[in-house]
Amino acid sequence: MKRSMLPLNALRAFDAAARHLSFKMAAEDLSVTPAAISQQIRSLEEFLGVELFRRTNRSLVLTEAAQLALAPLKDGFEKMEEAVDILTASHSANVVKVSVSPSFASKWLVPRLASYYERRPDAIVKVNATMALTDFKAEDIDLGIRYGRGTYDGLHVEPLMRETVFPVCSPALLEGDDPLRTPEDLLEKTLIHDDSFSEDDSAPSWPMWLKAAGVLVPEGLPALHFNTHALAVEAAVAGRGVALARSSIAEEDLKAGRLVQPFGEAIPVDFAHYIVCPEDKLKAERIQDFIDWLKDEAGAY
């Protein structure tokens, strides 16, 4: 069959299924669902007019034809990997692809990148700003910086920095007829919530902070909700209410006087920033160097 007609994606599914003798494991390998593999194999069998697997309920057996085809197919994929590795080899020595949350990207990482480029002028840092965790098997990402509890299975994890969370607001809220002076005064203000981790009870939040401060909270307080931390902090800068801010996100606004910390109560939180990457990425000097720089920056912070 001419290469223009080769069903390449289905052949990749077949290759994975044949290697694992399992659609479930092939799916994990290729970062798709078992249904996707099943459908690809079925479609390939129909297209080629040949059975590739015999299904015995929960397991698979390769047919004879499939067994014969496996060796050249594997060789084919290996040659393609080699070709792509050749293409990228001259380039990737200087590229670091890092995944961080949008808030952390704009408020902490990107403002500091100039310092990394001074340290390594030929470097290229590609920042992937996303709120999703990285699936390193499916995404072309070198490392991630994640705010959480640090429980990332199967990956190299090291703490980058811990930080506190505390109320911040516009200086305007400290004045006027209803000034914000004590934690109890918060009940008269609009609380600005960051819902990034609303599904995780151990994530820092207003209810948690208020409880730690010993403030009894009645029902139905005025509230604003945002899906990123930076947006919540922006709303505070705009005088919309009081946000519970992380220092890394709020630092520039605090320094500039756009935000103030009305009272000093910072609560201890379980969450911290972690560097996350596949173990084998650490072998690359450029990754190791970037991590070293991150730690330097976090230490100086």
Residue 42 contact among a copy of itself, DNA, none, beta carbon within 5 to 8 Å by kind: DNA
* Structural contact between residues 244 and 205, judged by C-beta atoms closer than 8 angstroms: yes
* Structural contact between residues 23 and 16, judged by C-beta atoms closer than 8 angstroms: no
**Shortest gap between Cβ of 283 and a copy of itself (angstroms)?**
15
What is the greatest pairwise CA distance in the chain?
Answer: 84
Q: Can residue 128 be called a binding residue for DNA (CB under 7 A)? A: no
**Which of 19, 43, 63, 157 touches DNA (CB under 7 A)?**
43
Residue 172 contact among a copy of itself, DNA, none, beta carbon within 5 to 8 Å by kind: none
**Which of 21, 35, 140, 179 touches a copy of itself (CB under 8 A)?**
140
Q: In the complex with a copy of itself, which residue's Cβ is closer, 139 or 289?
A: 139
Residue 50 contact among a copy of itself, DNA, none, beta carbon within 5 to 8 Å by kind: a copy of itself
* Structural contact between residues 112 and 119, judged by C-beta atoms closer than 8 angstroms: no
Q: In the complex with DNA, which residue's Cβ is closer, 31 or 67?
A: 31
**Which of 19, 38, 73, 254 touches DNA (CB under 7 A)?**
38
The amino acid present at 248, given as its one-letter code, is S
Q: Can residue 40 be called a binding residue for DNA (CB under 7 A)? A: yes
Q: In the complex with a copy of itself, which residue's Cβ is closer, 156 or 295?
A: 156
Q: Can residue 142 be called a binding residue for a copy of itself (CB under 8 A)? A: no
Q: In the complex with DNA, which residue's Cβ is closer, 92 or 130?
A: 130
**Shortest gap between Cβ of 10 and DNA (angstroms)?**
6
**Which of 15, 16, 29, 30 touches DNA (CB under 7 A)?**
30
Q: Can residue 230 be called a binding residue for DNA (CB under 7 A)? A: no
Q: Can residue 50 be called a binding residue for a copy of itself (CB under 8 A)? A: yes
Q: Can residue 10 be called a binding residue for DNA (CB under 7 A)? A: yes
Residue 93 contact among DNA, a copy of itself, none, beta carbon within 5 to 8 Å by kind: none
Nearest to 20 by CA among 98, 92, 74: 74
The token duo for 137 is: 């098997």
Ranges within 55-74 binding DNA (CB under 7 A): 55, 57-60
Residues lying near DNA in the complex (CB under 7 A) are found at 7-10, 13, 22-24, 27, 30-36, 38-43, 53, 55, 57-60
